[in-house]
Every structure is written in structure tokens, then in C-alpha cells.
Amino acid sequence: MRFDIVTLFPDCFTSVLSCGLLGKALAKEIAFVHLVNPRDFTTDKHRKVDDEPYGGGVGMLMKPEPIFAAVESLPILPRREIILMSPQGQTINQPLLRELATNYDQLVVICGHYEGVDERVLHLVTREVSLGDFILTGGEIPAMTLINGVVRLLPGTVGKAESLKAESFEEGLLDYPQYTRPAEFRGLKVPDVLLSGNHAEIAKWRYKQQLQKTRLRRPDILKDGEWGEQGEQGEKGGAGY
């Protein structure tokens, strides 16, 4: 997959793109990230990328010409999406990341700044995406999140692909609690079922924990039919608890 990141601050990505699984995936050419600076496409001697909004108002807007020129300079792959990182966009979630990882070969990601971008930039854009209902100084951090979330779903990034299936949100539930050695730490013990070697009981325990955690923390993502008769959720393949 190819990522083209349109950003006024390409240096922001240097460390992020070289670390951990993301850095390894790029080194293995599972994905490619190209950084393009709209300032390089300005035509005035001051290399101006922002200006005052028509009609007045506080702050500056990113001008359309450098952004259009930057995007139009890029190669076009058959399955391409042009994304504007914007607080007004669709909130990033796991289904969105999976859709982007599965259905596209190229993601062009525009990072806004200042008070935003000229509205005409939306004529370029096929999707607006947000990190959440809050405001940051620019679109770089949300863009990093998008890259990370998509690349880790690409084949070859994560060593054991099956591990992706048991994560939070993948099955509409939060993840179950996980433990490693030692079996007891400062009086806190690993649940006995995880030490039992009984994989069927472990699977039941984990699913029950997922239901409990989701009911307490994120009841909004529960699917219909996952609640038991007395306001509790039923265990998969068994009675309620």
C-alpha cells in the first residue's frame, strides 16, 4: 500500500515511521510512505500557504492552490482514496481501518493546519476522517494514527495474523484481560483458569470477561441479543451470568 502524506511539517513523521512494527513493515516494503510539502508548490517569493478568511474571523486558512498542486503531482493508483484529516470527519474506528486496509492501494492524506483548509479543498477529497471530538493544532498526529492503524492490518506486518482477530473491537467487544509471568506479583494472582491448561474453559472465561468489560465500559458497541434475561449478557454458547 502507498501512503502520500500532504503536510507542512514532514519532519514530524521521521521518528514515528522508523519505530516498532511500523518501521519494520516499511523496511519490508509492506507499505510505502511518501511525504509531500504543499509549501514546495507555492509560486510567490514568500512561499505563502495560508491567508485570512473572507468575511473576517480569527486565524488563517490554508490556501487551496498549494494543496491542489501537491495532490495533483502524485501518481494515481487504481484504488485511491483522498482523505482530509478534519475534526468534522468520520471518527476513526476499527471497521474504518479494516476497510481502508482491504479496499485501497493508495491513501492520500491531507493534514490541515491553522484554522483549517479552504472549503474548495473538499472538491479533491473523497473522505474526511477525524481522530475524535476534539481539536489539535494540525492533522499530523491523526494522520500518524491512521497510518499505524492501517499498516498493522496489512499482511506480513503482525507476526501472527490470528492475533488480530482477538483484539478489542474486532468482534464488537473489548479485549479480555491478559497476563504473563510471574503467576503472582505483589499479592496479585493470575486467574486459576489461565493456569489450568483447559483451553475450552479458558475460551469461555475470556469471552465472559469481554462481555463484562464491554458492558461496563462501552455498552454502546454491544450488538443486539448479547444481553441476558436479567439485564446481563449471555455467555456465548451457554447460560447468562
Tell me the pLDDT tens digit for each residue of 82-115. 999 999 999 999 999 999 999 999 999 999 998 8
Whether 129 and 203 map to the same domain: the answer is no
Q: Same domain for 143 and 35?
A: yes
Gap between the Cα atoms of 194 and 197, Å rounded: 7
My answer on whether 138 and 22 are in the same domain is: yes
Tens digit of each residue's pLDDT (9 = 90 or more) over 105-142? 999 999 999 889 999 999 999 999 999 999 999 999 99
Identify whether 162 is part of a domain.
Answer: no
Shared domain check, 190 and 83: no
* Total number of domains in the chain: 2
Same domain, 102 and 26: yes
Residue 28 inside a domain? The answer is yes
**Residue 146: HSE in the Cβ half-sphere, 13 Å Cα cutoff:** 34
Q: 19 and 128: one domain? A: yes
Structural domain contains residue 174:
yes
The angle that helices 140-151 and 20-27 make with each other, rounded to 10 degrees, is: 70
Q: For position 46, what pLDDT does the model report?
A: 94
pLDDT at 66: 97
The CB-side HSE value for 116 (13 A sphere, CA atoms) comes to: 16
- 227 pLDDT exceeds 60? no
Question: Is it the case that residue 47 has pLDDT exceeding 80?
Answer: yes
pTM score: 0.82
One domain for residues 134 and 208:
no
pLDDT at 232 over 50: no
Q: Residue 109 falls within a domain, yes or no? A: yes
Is 226 inside a domain boundary?
Answer: yes
Domain-terminating residue out of 99, 118, 151: 151
* Dist. CA 74–CA 100, nearest whole Å: 19
Statement to judge: residues 81 and 126 lie in one domain: yes
Residue 118 sits in the same domain as residue 67: yes
Q: What is the pLDDT of residue 10?
A: 97
pLDDT in tens, 181-222: 999 999 999 999 999 999 999 999 999 999 999 999 999 988
pLDDT band (50, 70, 90) for residue 223: confident
At residue 237, the pLDDT reads 32
Q: Please name the amino acid found at residue 52.
A: E
Say what the pLDDT of residue 167 is: 54
In the listed set 151, 182, 207, which residue is the last one of a domain according to the structure? 151
Q: Residue 205 sits in a domain of what CATH number?
A: 1.10.1270.20
* Calpha distance 110→139 (Å, rounded): 8
The answer for residues whose C-beta is within 8 angstroms of residue 235's C-beta and 6 or more apart is: 204, 207, 208, 211, 241
Are 79 and 181 part of one and the same domain?
no
Are 97 and 175 part of one and the same domain? no
Confidence of residue 238 (pLDDT cuts 50, 70, 90): very low
Q: What is the overall mean pLDDT for the chain?
A: 89
Residues 233, 138, single domain; the answer is no
pLDDT in tens, 17-32: 999 999 999 999 999 9
For position 233, what pLDDT does the model report? 40
Percent of the chain scoring above 90 in pLDDT = 82
How far is CA 175 from each of CA 152, 185, 190, 239, rounded to the nearest angstrom? 17, 22, 17, 21
Residue 105's domain spans which residues? 2-151
Residue 135 lies in a domain: yes
Residue 21: which CATH number? 3.40.1280.10
